[in-house]
Amino acid sequence: MAQETITTISPITGKPMLTRQGLSISEIPSLLSASKKAFSTFQKTHPLAKRQEIVRKALDILLSKTDELAKELTEQMGRPIAYTGKEIATAVMRAQYLLKVSDEVLSDSPGEAQEGFKRFIRKEPLGPVLIIFAWNYPYLILINSLIPAILAGNTLLLKPSPQTPTIAEHMVSIFAEAGLPENVLQTVHCGNNATLEALIREPDVRSIAFTGSVAGGIAVQKAAASRVVPVGLELGGNDPAYVRPDVDIAWAAEEIVDGAVFNSGQSCCSIERVYVHESIYEEFLEKLVGVLNGYKLGDPLDKTTHLGPVVSAKSARTIAEQVKDAEDKGARNLTPNVYSEGSKLGETFVRPEILADCSHKMRVLTEETFGPIIPVTKVSGDDEAVSLMNDSDFGLTASIWTKDVETGQKLAEQVEAGTVFVNRCDYPSPVSSRASCHF
């Protein structure tokens, strides 16, 4: 099989911007041999304290490069330059938390006491770990897997999205500068499914972490199914928000617009369904329109831009198909016409859409959109809202908006999602939690 050339297409211009040579199946043995050799010495010569020191140095270097890395990230995936640097800062905060808890998490756990015996559970590194990570928040997503694996003493193969191929390269370089031994981190460029599946099936790959689409996660799981290996999957979302009648309507509208369209809606935890109590329904819609009137769609390298392009022309077409499906089935499109200049930049510059009177017969409420769409549905009360929020194949996050925080917390217990927020949404807290409140 000829070596694969991977081309990154700019979401801003629609033109090729860089290429990388993809891994071939014949190169897999040498890749894994280098990783195994590094692992055999790394865990012995670098105790936890030394690994922690390297991670701290790497985080300092990463922060020092924020401006240049933020600009590059904007160019590769399209998020406005006003916001890309914040992802790096958030990733560092996440890593600092993981550093903070690493002593406790990685220490021996005592067993049941019994005279004449000493029992304990020791956490041992596995070996080469394959991390496959997405383009939409690549630094934050990578940090979530990279830092725990390094602190535990593993070696890593970093497989970035072809859309943001340089992120893995930068992290390998940064950690090398911080003192990490050679081949503890390696970059794997791969766009060929057969090659990636062959790598996943290799017995020397001792753990796999994947963050990306549902289809991609299922493909990884299938490829790994022929052997016993830990596979961690963080996949798509279709996250709901419920606006109760007692809420501060103007404030909630601002927060929900931000939670729905930030990063052009390209977050697995962005708001993709909004359920609003019937008593405030029309007023809430008016406030949504007013909020969107203040947003600017345009050149992501302009610091005044709120919304840049979506990642690809294919993504733009999928979003347009969902909007048309909703309109054909009775949705009202209330989007203010303030985006004409931005949309002239190209097909990928998708305007945010407010769709009123939506139902679960529409794709926009049942599928992941991954775009700046705000579908709104009227509900009669808490029971109907919770029922509709739970009517989904997804379950990453959800949010409840109310002045009655106690009731919001009780409703959160009924919502089937990994994280349920009260008066907050799409918030990447360094500490994972089941519920969160913001007063």
Active site residues: 234
- Within the chain, what is the greatest distance between any pair of CA atoms? 78
* Residue ranges in 182-312 assigned as alpha helix (H): 193-201, 214-224, 249-261, 281-292
Question: 3-class DSSP state for residue 426?
Answer: coil
CA pair distance 22, 190, nearest whole angstrom: 5
Nearest CA among 186, 115, 400, 424 for reference residue 275? 400
What is the rounded CA–CA span in Å between residue 190 and residue 24? 8
Burial of residue 413, with CB atoms counted within 10 A of its CB: 0-12 exposed, 13-18 middle, 19 or more buried:
exposed
Task: Find out whether 35 and 183 touch, Cβ atoms under 8 Å.
Answer: yes
- What kind and span of H or E run contains 122? none
* Residues 83, 267 contacting (CB under 8 angstroms): no
Q: Which helix (H) or strand (E) segment is 226 a member of?
A: none
Q: What distances in angstroms separate CA 361 from CA 53, 324, 366, 385, one per listed residue?
A: 54, 13, 8, 16
Cα gap 284→290, rounded to integer Å: 10
Q: Rounded to whole angstroms, how far apart are CA atoms 122 and 116?
A: 19
